[in-house]
Each structure stands twice: as structure tokens, then as C-alpha cells.
């Protein structure tokens, strides 16, 4: 498809487990962003990549969160030792470059930690 | 206080009404975005603007840089406009986007 895709669409896991969330950006988009949206809140920035490198990871809440983009396309957000407070919708967006370029959002992955 | 404030938080209106959603921000910005989020989470970008006014169909977005305020208007509202509308600003310093909490709009038929 032409848009940003994210898998899985829903993930239910138990406290303490490890999860991986995947984002496929629009082909050719060099910038990729991860956001987290808790219920009733706007999205919050987690990390963004320019190409393969994490240009800014200051939004990652703690060291249980990690993201990679090894080939500058698909990105994986990894969460270790999940906690109930990690439950949220994780949104990915991509844009042609950083700067004032429109970001195109994926449908999100709804993570529920029991 | 949040850096991006939206009002109202919730809005219910009858089909056909003119809708206004407001956004105020307290930081310097390089651009302001209006986004639409439907149930299920998908986000669609409606407008990106840094000055003046933009129009797309029944949607109009305005921004006043001096007053740090933007409005999103919907003319001849329709039940399919029901969604959460999010205002977001881009920081010129670090290029991050800061989101408002959103305005939940419900248009009754």
C-alpha cells in the first residue's frame, strides 16, 4: 500500500513480557517518528530517525524502550519488561525529511499490558 | 500548563452547524498542524500552516502568529465529521511536534 502501515494492530501481553511493534513507512521517506498516545491524551513524542540513525530519542520514557531502523526503512519499537502503564496506542509517522514536511501517520498499534 | 491547549475538549452539535475549534500555544513554532483522528486511532493530516489561512473543502484553518492562536472551522457539519481533532505545533529549535489533547467532535444527524 501507499501509506504507513503498522503491525500488529492490537497486542495484548502480560506484565513483564517483551514486545516488538513494527512500522513500515512510506517508501522513500527518510524521517520516521514514533509517538505514544494514552487514553484521552494527545500523542507524545518518543523517538525519531533520520535514515538509519536515531536523531532524537529524548522522548523514550526509560531504558526499557528501544527502537531500531537498521536499513533506513522499517522500524521496530521494542519494549522490555512491559508494565501496565505502557498500555497505549503507539503511532508511527513518516515524512520525506525532517523539517516542515507533512508527517503521514500509520493506524497505530494498541498495546494492552495485563 | 500544557504548551498546546485546545478548546473545547468536547463538542456536540447538530448536522449543518458551523463548528469552531480553538488552539492556543505558548511556545515558538515553525508550523502548526491540524489533524483528524477517527475511532480506531488512524490520524490524517488536515492542514499544515505557518501563517494566514488555508481552506480545503468545508474545512478552514487560520493562524495568528502574534496571538499564538489557531482555529479550525467546519462549515455545514456532517455526522461523518465526527472525530477527534488535534492541534499540534512544530518547534523550530528541535523540530519536535507537540500535540494538544484533542477536541472530541460529535455531529448529530
Chain A: closest CA distance from residue B41 (Å): 6
Q: What is the mean pLDDT of residues B67-71?
A: 97
Contacts (Cβ under 8 Å, ≥6 apart) of A63? none
pLDDT score recorded for residue B2: 80
Residues A8, A110, B21, A31: is their CA dihedral positive or negative? negative
- Out of A43, A100, A105, the one facing B42 most closely (by C-beta) is A105
Residues 3-62 of B with CB under 8 A from A: 4, 30-31, 33, 35, 40-45, 48, 50
The dihedral of CA A102, A107, A112, B4: what is its sign?
positive
Give yes or no for a contact between B103 and B39, defined as CB atoms under 8 angstroms apart.
Answer: no
Q: Choose the closest CB to A107 out of B42, B45, B96.
A: B42
Q: Over chain A (114 residues), what is each successive 10-residue block's mean pLDDT?
A: 88 97 95 92 91 89 95 96 96 82 88 96
Q: What mean pLDDT is predicted for residues B11-26?
A: 97
Q: Are strands B52-56 and B59-64 parallel, antiparallel or unpaired?
A: antiparallel
Residues in A closer than 8 angstroms to B41, CB to CB, are 37, 89, 91, 107-108, 110
d(CA B79, CA A14): 38
- Predicted pLDDT at A109: 95
Residue of A nearest to B101 (CA): A42
Judge: A105–B44 Cβ closer than 8 Å, yes or no: yes
B74 touches chain A (CB under 8 A): no
Chain B positions in Cβ-Cβ contact with residue A100 (cut-off 8 Å):
30-31, 48, 50, 90
**Predicted pLDDT at A98:** 64
What are the φ and ψ backbone dihedral angles of B96, each rounded to 5 degrees? -75, 155
Report the pLDDT averaged over residues B47-66: 95
Which residues in chain B have Cβ-Cβ distances shorter than 8 Å to A104? 45
Amino acid at each position: 500500500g501507499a501509506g504507513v502501515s503498522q503491525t500488529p494492530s492490537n497486542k495484548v501481553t502480560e506484565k513483564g513480557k517483551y514486545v516488538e511493534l513494527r512500522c513500515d513507512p512510506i517508501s522513500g521517506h527518510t524521517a520516521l517518528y514514533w509517538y505514544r498516545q494514552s487514553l484521552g491524551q494527545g500523542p507524545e513524542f518518543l523517538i525519531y530517525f533520520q535514515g538509519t540513525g536515531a536523531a532524537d530519542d529524548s522522548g523514550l520514557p526509560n531504558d526499557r524502550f528501544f527502537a531500531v531502523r537498521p536499513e533506513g526503512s522499517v522500524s521496530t519499537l521494542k519494549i522490555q519488561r512491559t508494565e501496565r502503564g505502557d498500555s497505549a496506542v503507539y503511532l508511527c509517522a513518516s515524512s520525506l525529511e525532517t523539517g516542515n514536511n507533512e508527517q503521514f501517520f500509520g493506524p497505530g498499534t494498541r498495546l494492552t499490558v495485563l | 500548563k500544557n504548551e498546546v491547549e485546545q478548546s473545547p475538549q468536547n463538542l456536540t452539535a447538530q448536522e449543518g452547524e458551523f463548528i469552531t475549534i480553538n488552539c492556543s500555544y505558548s511556545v515558538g513554532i515553525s508550523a502548526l498542524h491540524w489533524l483528524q483522528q477517527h475511532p480506531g486511532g488512524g490520524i490524517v493530516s488536515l492542514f499544515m500552516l505557518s501563517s494566514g489561512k488555508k481552506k480545503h473543502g468545508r474545512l478552514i484553518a487560520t493562524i495568528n502568529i502574534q496571538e499564538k492562536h489557531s482555529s479550525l472551522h467546519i462549515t455545514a457539519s456532517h455526522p461523518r465529521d465526527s472525530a477527534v481533532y488535534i492541534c499540534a505545533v512544530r518547534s523550530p529549535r528541535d523540530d519536535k511536534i507537540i500535540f494538544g489533547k484533542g477536541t472530541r467532535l460529535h455531529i448529530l444527524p
